[in-house]
Structure 1
Amino acid sequence: MLFDPQHLQDIIACPKTKAKLICEGEFLISVDPETRLKYPIKDGIPVMLVDEAVEVPQSEWAEIMQRHQRNPESGELVS
C-alpha cells in the first residue's frame, strides 16, 4: 500500500515538533516556522526520521506555505 497524503494528513505529524505536515511533491513539509523540516517520501513511504529530515530555507518554506493557503510567516491556515 502506497502512502496517500490526503488520508493521513490529519493523523501524521512532525516527529520532532508534532506540527502538522503538508505534502509537497515527494516530501512532507512541517508547518512549524522554527524548524521548517522536510521529510522525504521514498518509494511511496514517508521517511519520518528526524535524522533524515532537511531544513527548508525560509524563503522556499514561505513559498510552499503560500501554495497551501497557509500564512508564510506562521504556517497557520489562512481563513
Structure 2
Amino acid sequence: MAFDPQRLQDIIACPKTKAKLVCEGDYLISVDPATRLKYPIRDGIPVMLVDEAVEVPQAEWASIMQRHERNPETGEPVS
C-alpha cells in the first residue's frame, strides 16, 4: 500500500519541529518557516529522519506554501 498523505495529514508531523507537513511531489515539506525542511518519500514510504531532511530555499518554500493555500511567510493556512 502506497503512502497517502491526505489520509495521514493530521497524524504525521515534522520530527524536528512537530509542524504540519504538505505533500509536494516526492517530498513532505514542513510548514515551519524557520526550518523549511523537506523529507523524501522513497518507494512510497516517507523518510522522516532529520538527518535526511534538506532545507528548502526561502523563495521555493514560499511558492510551495502558496500552492497549498498557506501564508508564504508563516506557513499558516489561508482562510
SS at match of 1:22: strand
Kindly provide the CA deviation profile for residues 5-61 of structure 1, in whole angstroms up to 9, marking residues without a partner as x.
Answer: 010011000000000000000000000000000000000000000000000000000
Matched residue pairs, number?
79
Percent identity of paired positions between Structure 1 and Structure 2:
85
Residue equivalent to 1:36: 36
1:2, distance to aligned residue in structure 2 (A): 1.2
Taking structure 1 as the reference length, the TM-score comes to: 0.99
1:74 aligns with 2:74: yes
For residues 68 and 22 of structure 1, the distance between their equivalents in structure 2, rounded to whole angstroms, comes to 7
For residues 64 and 6 of structure 1, the distance between their equivalents in structure 2, rounded to whole angstroms, comes to 16
Taking structure 2 as the reference length, the TM-score comes to: 0.99
For residues 12 and 6 of structure 2, the distance between their equivalents in structure 1, rounded to whole angstroms, comes to 11
Residue equivalent to 1:25: 25
For residues 3 and 26 of structure 1, the distance between their equivalents in structure 2, rounded to whole angstroms, comes to 10
Residue equivalent to 1:49: 49
